[in-house]
Amino acid sequence: MTPSKKEMTRRVHYGDTRALNSKNDQTWQDWVDPYIVESKRLLTVRRNNVRFKHLHDRGVDIVERKGGIRMRLAEYDLDMHWRTALSHYAEQHEAHCVDFATELLEQAGAGTLTEQAGPTKSELIDFLATGLNERDFRDLF
C-alpha cells in the first residue's frame, strides 16, 4: 500500500532528525550545544556592544549571560556604533548558522544537498501557499 502524501511528508520531516540522532541523545547534544552557545554569544554581543565596550574599558574581562554563557569581551570587536554592530554581528551570525546547517546535513549523511540549487524565492512562496498537506515537499528540492 502506497502511503499518502501527508504520511510521506510526516515521515520525511521526522525521519531526518532520527537519522541525526541515531547514536544517542548525548552525542547529538554534544555537537549541537557549541553551535547554540556561540549563536547566543553573537546575538548578545550584537545587542549590547556599547554596554560591553564601556565594561571592557573599565577592566571587565568576562560577561556572563543567563544560562551561564560567558563571553570574553576581548574576543569581540566592540568599538563600533551600535547600528554598525547590528549588521556586523548579523553577518557573523548568518555565517555561523550556515556552518551549523552544513554540519547538520553532513551528520545526516546529506552533505551533497549543499551542492544543489534550492528553490527560488517565488517557488518557495508558491509552495508555502499550497500548504504541506497539499504536496510532498521533496518535489521542491
Residue 41, CA distances (Å) to 6, 45, 63, 67, 70 in order: 38, 6, 10, 11, 8
Name residues whose C-beta falls within 8 Å of residue 141's C-beta, 6 or more positions apart in sequence: 113, 116, 118, 119
Q: Could you read off the pLDDT of 116-133 as tens digits, one per residue?
A: 888 888 988 887 777 665
| Domain positions in the chain | 17-112
69: part of which helix (H) or strand (E)? Answer: strand 69-72
Q: What percent of the chain has pLDDT over 90?
A: 50
Residue 100's pLDDT is 95
Instruction: Please tell me the pTM assigned to this model.
Output: 0.68
Residue 82, CA distances (Å) to 38, 44, 79 in order: 20, 12, 9
Name residues whose C-beta falls within 8 Å of residue 39's C-beta, 6 or more positions apart in sequence: 93, 96, 97, 100
